[in-house]
Amino acid sequence: MDTKYWTKYRLDRLYKDWDPKVLTDLKEKITKSNWRLGYHIQTDTGLLNDPNGFSYFNNQWHLFYQAFPYGGVHGLKSWTHMVSDDLVNWNNVNKSMVPDRYNDRHGCYSGSAINVNDKLFLIYTGNVFEDDDEYRRHPYQNGAWMDKDNNITKLSDPLIDDAPTGITGHFRDPQILKHGDYYYAILGAQTIDNEGEILTYRSKNVDKGWEFYKKMDLGHDNLGYMTECPNLGFVDGKVVLIFCPQGADDTKFSYDNIHPNAYIVADDFDWENMKLINPSAMHQVDEGFDFYATQLLNAPDGRLLSSTWIGLPDTEYLSDDEGWEGSLTMVRELHIKDGRLIQTPVKENDSLVKESVDVSEGMKLDKQSLIKFDVEDGKDNSMLIESDDSYLKLSFDKDSHKLTLTRKNVGEDPENRTILLGSSRFNNCSVYFDNTVFEMYINDGQRTMTGTFFHDGKNLTLNWDNLDNMKVNRLNNIGINE
């Protein structure tokens, strides 16, 4: 980040005080980028991070994302609003929820949504930094109503006006759920002893009367120094809790990214005691390079769906210098099998698939491609996407049963992420490639690896070793936010 330009004054400047020419110039600059995407939700300008408000309302899918439109930096956050009829083709309704009052003065941060009486209710964290010697963070949990014309009206008063006793100003990311007579809000928190927790509030009225209920019992204490983005989902007779335990002990829960995205599967959930029943071990949701802040939706059609930021906090990306950063995963459908999470792109994404292309070693790869292959058993295997001074390589060692993903971004050193498959075989893989992001679904979605890949913007080639049934299809460029 250019700290000389991105002063505190610019990072905190209200949107109404920006010269419109800044966005015009930024859009013109971004049109020259070789790194833009074809079928993933990406930001028009500036920064995209956490998905928010994932919901089905008024016969459409709704998905918001946290945004700062004036540069590829974490400035004053708002919610950009996307809608879709099919979970694939998304349109910006151009009615963002922006910080415009005291209780969200320093940003509209993450939250969720729920359909209530033909309106959509939004709940989100508004941060205010008190102007004193310590520049203290004061979190407000705020509410808003959205009508069928996508007009958002914020409540005048916060739903929850402060963190509870014993909790610091790091208190945020409410997921709203309805169970029985109550609405519940599940929030990430940090104690004054710098330990992560998940807290719950409840009310019989969605827009008032919220009171602290209980600390959630996960059956685990390795929640780091702050637990972000907690989400409960229900599928296949099981419960899954997905969350981001910043600073979790990596000797007890292995991860390589600066911050992990974790999940726990449980047999049931005790709503009275806010407790996971017979919880599993903690696992990574995704084992790639860039994956954070998963948001779940138990959809009206019975599916458990997810959307995730392809990015990480406290990380700079090569596209920042072009004035933009961030994208969201394709919407995934989640299931539980043998106590583990299974993730696959929703079936609607089949509409992206175009004609197959002839495959051969060293073939040119389109920037929007689907690569599918099976694996020859008992051999070392690999797949390589390569350009000048950049490559993405997936390799499997038959002796160690270790699957390694190596990424070399242009101008940077190579880095690795690994999966130890143990007694499991490496059977197959589907790679959804979209120029500078990728999603790999391994063994029919039993494991996934997601991330960014910044290449030189020129020719991309595909090579492989000891792979069967290699198939490549072009994928539609649907022009999201172009």
Query: What is the C-alpha to C-alpha distance for residues 331 and 439, in angstroms, rounded to an integer?
Result: 11
User: What pLDDT score was predicted for residue 235?
Assistant: 97
CATH code 2.60.120.560 for 353-475: yes
H helix or E strand, kind and range, residue 26: helix 20-30
Is 9 exposed, middle or buried (CB count within 10 Å of its CB: 0-12, 13-18, 19+)?
exposed
Assign domain 8-345 to its CATH superfamily. Answer: Glycosyl hydrolase domain; family 43 (2.115.10.20)
Distances (CA, A) of 478 to 35, 88, 124, 199: 15, 9, 30, 40
Share of residues in the chain with pLDDT > 70 (%): 99
Question: How far apart (Å, rounded) are the C-alpha atoms in residues 8 and 67?
Answer: 17
Say what the pLDDT of residue 134 is: 63
Return the active site residues. Answer: 50
Give the single-character DSSP code of 103.
Answer: G
DSSP assigned state of 184: E
CA–centroid distance for 148 within its chain: 26
Does the model's pTM come out above 0.85?
Answer: yes
Low pLDDT (below 70) residues in the chain? 132-135, 481-482
CATH 2.60.120.560 domain span(s) along the chain: 353-475
What's the confidence (pLDDT) of residue 281? 97
Give the pLDDT score at 374: 94
pLDDT of residue 373: 96
Q: What is the pLDDT of residue 481?
A: 56
Q: Is 466 left (phi over 0), alpha (psi -120 to 50) or beta?
A: left
d(CA 450, CA 433): 10
Span(s) in the chain for CATH 2.115.10.20: 8-345
- Tell me, what's the pLDDT at 2? 80
C-alpha distance from residue 61 to each of 155, 244, 405 (Å): 23, 25, 33
R_g over Cα of the chain? 22
